[in-house]
Amino acid sequence: MSDELYFKPLTELAALLDTKKISSVELTRSVIARTKAVDARVRAFNSYDEADALAQADESDRRRAAGKARGPLDGIPVGFKDVIAVAGQPLTASSKMLANFVSPYDATVTQKLKHAGAVVWGRLNLDEFAMGSSTENSAFRATCNPWDLARVPGGSSGGSAASLAAGEAIATLGSDTGGSIRQPAALCGVVGLKPTYGLVSRYGLIAFASSLDQIGPFTRTVEDAAVMLGGIAGHDPLDSTSYETKIPDYRGELKKRKGPWRLGIPKEYFGEGLDPEVGAAVENAIAFYRERGCEIKEVSLPHTDYGVGVYYIIATAECSSNLARYDGIRYGHRSKEARDIIDLYFKSRAEGFGAEVKRRIILGTYVLSSGYYDAFYLRAQKVRTLIRQDFLNAYREVDAILTPTSPTPAFKQGEKSDPLAMYLCDVYTIGVNLAGLPGISVPCGFSSGGLPIGLQLIGQPFQEAELLAIAHAYEQGHDWGERHPKL
């Protein structure tokens, strides 16, 4: 294990800060120095504001000195996926469309983390408008996987996963629409949690697909994820889809919930396309739980095969409408060539959006069109209900479901040029979003080539405390997450 501050888990650093063994300024300086040292290779950041971060760290230190520290997040540098609004900071969605946009307001999660004393640190790269699974769709740069710089970090929250794996932040925030937190977490060897739809406010998150998007943390440990979730979860009057539920002490619950659990293994998630090394790592994880007295049951999620199809109808339909606001009228890229208003729309959007974003807008526009709505969108919504029902049926017998996070470890940059091949990266993660469930990816091994492998655990709605406890039990028996890439 490294002695460097930037590789330590959040909870350990919180203890060091609490006992005044380190200061937030010291910690933040360590993270900034590390970023300056490695980000030219990792390319995880779109931008960062060093002076601003240090000023926040200094404030945190003053609070602590005055005995007014605000808890475990106070003084911790947290990186933000560049789709989450921070007042006064750029908000680009890694799109040319918003290359020069600065947010005048804070997202609710930003407000919450600021209130908890966290140091808001850096804007992290992603696939443009969170559309992709490799971060290659960024208009600015392709982020590299710290474990093998020739490979992708996954996506769309590739910058959030890679920066954390590379020691450029202590925790990061991402967003997950079809696997955009869990898949890059798996590919970069960190913990990634997608909360239940409605647990974390979406206010201030640039919308891709409103009914699927959810903000969640990337962390080094499950306990860190529990702390981060506690910092961002909760009903928000500014988000009508956020749910009114009591937020438990997730970290405290980890110690109280000991199992044994009944774990479901969906046979549909272990078929064709699964890399044998990934399959073996997940089998080992299953064996671990069985040895710990957990009941392992095969379950069926019969509508799994429809997941990718349903997802690409619903997500594209919603995005075609959500992205309509980027028109060059009020803010964002405006073409200098336009002759009239229609021309302004056409040219600004043609110049401002990348190929994948355009592809999805066109798909979504098509499926919502008069005459096609019933056949595509309406039917997809019905199948979505069946997919959710599959999971709820399974939960009559099991407490959580265990699957691989991604069919393969990190693939090479440029390897998946066919959009459909790229879409299949999310085959194990998409169902969770369609069903609105919580899912977590925890490191569960390495490939023979030294690439991280992720284990996905899927929980019941709003049962994050239980899900985290199950993941925590696995983590306690393994040290995968304590390894760091050599950069």
Partner 1 sequence: MNYEAVIGLEVHVQIKTASKMFTRVAAGYGHEPNTLTDPVVLALPGVLPVMNKAALDAVIKAGLMLGCEIAPLCKWDRKNYFYPDSPKNYQISQYDQPICLGGSVEIELPGAARNVMGEHKRIPLTRIHLEEDVGKLNHGASDSLVDYNRAGTPLMEIVSEPAMHAAEEAFAYLTSLRATMIYGGISDCDMEKGQLRCDANISLRPVGETKLGIKVELKNLNSISFVRDGIAHEIRRQHALLESGGTIVQETRDYDGQTGASQSLRSKEMAHDYRYFPDPDLMPVKVDEVWKSRLKAECPELPFDKQRRFLGQYEIPYTITSVLVWDRELSDYFEEAAKLSGKPQATGNWIVNDLLREVSVARIDLAQSKVRPAHIAELVKLIEAGTLMNNVAREVFAEMFTSGEMPGIIVEKKGLKAAPTDLGDLEQWCREAIAASPKALAEFKAGKDSAINAFKGPVMKAAKGKANPKLVDETLRKLLTVL
240: contact with partner 1 by CB under 8 A: yes
Contact 49, 89 (CB under 8 A): yes
446: contact with partner 1 by CB under 8 A: no
Active site residue 24: no
128: contact with partner 1 by CB under 8 A: no
C-alpha span between 163 and 145 (Å, rounded): 9
Which candidate, 34, 206, 16, 188, places its Cα nearest to that of 122?
34
Nearest approach, Cβ of 424 to partner 1 (angstroms)? 25
Indicate the angle between helix axes 464-476 and 276-291, nearest 10 degrees: 100
Which candidate, 230, 83, 228, 254, places its Cα nearest to that of 164?
228
Count of residues that bind partner 1 according to CB under 8 A: 44
306: contact with partner 1 by CB under 8 A: no
211: contact with partner 1 by CB under 8 A: yes
Angle (CA) 134 136 137, round 5°? 105
Nearest approach, Cβ of 75 to partner 1 (angstroms)? 26
* Residue of the chain from 150, 238, 287, 421 that contacts partner 1 (CB under 8 A): 238
Six token digits for residue 38: 């490695």
Nearest approach, Cβ of 416 to partner 1 (angstroms)? 28
91: contact with partner 1 by CB under 8 A: yes
* Residue of the chain from 317, 422, 434, 473 that contacts partner 1 (CB under 8 A): 317
Nearest approach, Cβ of 162 to partner 1 (angstroms)? 23
131: contact with partner 1 by CB under 8 A: no
Residue in this structure with the two tokens 């997802």, named with its chain if needed: 311
Six token digits for residue 100: 């020069």
Nearest approach, Cβ of 379 to partner 1 (angstroms)? 13
C-alpha span between 175 and 156 (Å, rounded): 8
C-alpha span between 112 and 140 (Å, rounded): 29
Nearest approach, Cβ of 392 to partner 1 (angstroms)? 20
Nearest approach, Cβ of 152 to partner 1 (angstroms)? 25
Q: Which is nearer to partner 1, 224 or 327 (CB)?
A: 327
Ordered alpha helix ranges (H), 175-239: 182-188, 222-232
Selected catalytic residue, list 156, 157, 348, 406: 156
**What are the E-state strand segments in 22-75?**
45-47
* Residue of the chain from 136, 318, 399, 466 that contacts partner 1 (CB under 8 A): 318
Residue in this structure with the two tokens 């009228």, named with its chain if needed: 329
DSSP 195: P
User: What residue type is 2 in one-letter code?
Assistant: S
Active site residue 81: yes
* Residue of the chain from 12, 59, 210, 260 that contacts partner 1 (CB under 8 A): 210
Q: Which is nearer to partner 1, 182 or 202 (CB)?
A: 202
Site for partner 1 in 320-339 (CB under 8 A): 320-321, 324-327, 329-331
Which candidate, 184, 179, 160, places its Cα nearest to that of 269?
179
Q: How far is CA 136 from CA 31, 76, 122, 260, 436, in A?
A: 25, 29, 19, 41, 27
Q: Which is nearer to partner 1, 320 or 463 (CB)?
A: 320
Q: Which is nearer to partner 1, 320 or 447 (CB)?
A: 320
237's enclosing H/E stretch is none
Phi, then psi, of 173 in degrees rounded to 5: -110, 140
Convert 167-192 to b/e letters by CB count within 10 Å (16 or more is b): bbbbbbbbbbbbbbbbbbbbbbbbbb
Selected catalytic residue, list 8, 60, 81, 441: 81
345: contact with partner 1 by CB under 8 A: yes
Active site residue 156: yes
Which candidate, 167, 189, 183, 79, places its Cα nearest to that of 134?
183
Q: Which is nearer to partner 1, 32 or 98 (CB)?
A: 98
Site for partner 1 in 94-123 (CB under 8 A): 98, 101, 103-105, 107
Residues at the interface with partner 1 (CB under 8 A): 83-85, 91, 93, 98, 101, 103-105, 107, 202-207, 209-211, 237-241, 317-318, 320-321, 324-327, 329-331, 341, 345, 365, 368-370, 373, 377
Show which residues are catalytic. 81, 156, 180
